[in-house]
């Protein structure tokens, strides 16, 4: 229980966290980064819970609660922030979205110049 299971769990979590970090660095728009941050915080919470479970150490469980709540507050506040940008400046927001698409050629529609 204390040799194989944490090895497998932390290997899976580590590879997943590296992939999420790659999306967090590459993400063409701010919303991709919000989604990646959410997934990263969930991965961190899973890692803390696996540590608590495997080594039967309950000293980190308040951190688990804080991380779970912080993910919600962070993603909601950033989403509200982007929505506020959209409402206040309608036209530059559209140009910003187009610039995001222009920086990512695979997201451009086929057939449009």
Partner 1 sequence: MSIADVIASVCLIAGCFLCLTAGLGLIRFPDVLNRMHAATKPQVLGVLLVMTGAVIRLAGQPIVWMLVLVGVFQLLTAPVSAHMVSRIAYRRRHVRRDLLLVDELGKPADPLPSRPHPEHPEGDPDVDEPADGPDATPRTTS
Question: What is the C-alpha separation between 108 and 113, in angstroms, rounded?
Answer: 9
Q: What is the dihedral of CA 63, 65, 69, 71, to 10 degrees?
A: 60
51-110 positions binding partner 1, by CB under 8 A: 52-54, 56, 58, 61-62, 64-65, 68-69, 71-72, 75-76, 79-80, 82-83, 86-87, 90-91, 93-94, 96-97, 100-101, 106-107, 109-110
How many residues in the chain?
A: 113
Residue 36 in contact with residue 23, Cβ under 8 Å?
A: yes
15-34 positions binding partner 1, by CB under 8 A: 15-20, 22-23, 29, 31-32, 34
Query: What angle separates helix 90-102 from helix 61-88, to the nearest 10 degrees?
Result: 110
Please choose, from the candidates 27, 78, 26, 52, the residue with its C-alpha nearest in 3D space to the C-alpha of residue 44.
52
Residues that bind partner 1 (rule: CB under 8 A) add up to a total of: 64
Q: What is the binding site for partner 1 (CB under 8 A)?
A: 1, 5, 8-10, 12-13, 15-20, 22-23, 29, 31-32, 34-36, 38-39, 42-43, 45-46, 49-50, 52-54, 56, 58, 61-62, 64-65, 68-69, 71-72, 75-76, 79-80, 82-83, 86-87, 90-91, 93-94, 96-97, 100-101, 106-107, 109-112
């Amino acid at each position: 229980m204390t040799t194989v299971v944490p090895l497998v769990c932390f290997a899976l979590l580590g590879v997943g966290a590296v992939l999420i970090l790659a999306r967090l660095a590459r993400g063409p728009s701010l919303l991709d980064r919000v989604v990646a941050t959410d997934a990263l915080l969930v991965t961190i919470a899973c890692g803390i819970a696996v540590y608590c479970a495997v080594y039967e150490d309950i000293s980190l469980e308040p951190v688990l609660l804080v991380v779970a709540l912080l993910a919600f507050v962070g993603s909601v506040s950033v989403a509200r922030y982007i929505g506020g940008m959209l409402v206040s400046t309608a036209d530059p927001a559209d140009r910003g979205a187009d610039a995001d698409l222009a920086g990512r050629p695979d997201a451009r529609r086929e057939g449009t110049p």
